[in-house]
C-alpha cells in the first residue's frame, strides 16, 4: 500500500468514525438511567412520607380497635342496666 493510498484510507476511517460519533450524539438522550437526585418530584419516593404513613396506620388501627371495644362495653353496660330495671319492676 502506497503512502498516498494509506492516507486516503486513514482519512476515510476518520470521517467514518466522526460520522458515527455525530450520529450517536444526534440520538435523543438515554432516559432510563437517571440519578435519583435528578428525578422529578412526582417520581421520587420520599422515605419520610412512608415512615409517617406506617406510624399513622399503627395509631389508626389501635385507636379503632379501642373505640370498637369501648362501643361494645357501652352496649353491654346499657343492656345490664335495662335488664336490672326490668327485673326490679317484676319483683313483687
> Contact positions toward other proteins, by CB under 8 A?
45, 47-48, 50-51, 53-55, 57-59, 61-62, 65-66, 69-70, 72-73, 76-77, 79-80, 83, 86-87, 90
- Which residues, 6+ apart, have CB-to-CB distance to 44 below 8 Å? 36
Looking at the Cβ atoms of 6 and 80, the one nearer to other proteins is: 80
Q: Which of 17, 82 has the CB closer to other proteins?
A: 82
For the CB of residue 8, give the shortest distance to other proteins in the complex, in Å: 54
Distance CA 78, CA 40 (A): 57
Torsion from C-alpha of 13, 16, 20, 23, nearest 10 degrees? 160
Amino acid at each position: 500500500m502506497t503512502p498516498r493510498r494509506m492516507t486516503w484510507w486513514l482519512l476515510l476511517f476518520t470521517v467514518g468514525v466522526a460520522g458515527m460519533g455525530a450520529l450517536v450524539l444526534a440520538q435523543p438522550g438515554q432516559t432510563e438511567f437517571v440519578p435519583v437526585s435528578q428525578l422529578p418530584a412526582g417520581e421520587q419516593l420520599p422515605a419520610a412520607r412512608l415512615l409517617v404513613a406506617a406510624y399513622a396506620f399503627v395509631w389508626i388501627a389501635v385507636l379503632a380497635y379501642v373505640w370498637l371495644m369501648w362501643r361494645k362495653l357501652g352496649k353491654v353496660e346499657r343492656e345490664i342496666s335495662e335488664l336490672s330495671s326490668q327485673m326490679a319492676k317484676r319483683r313483687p
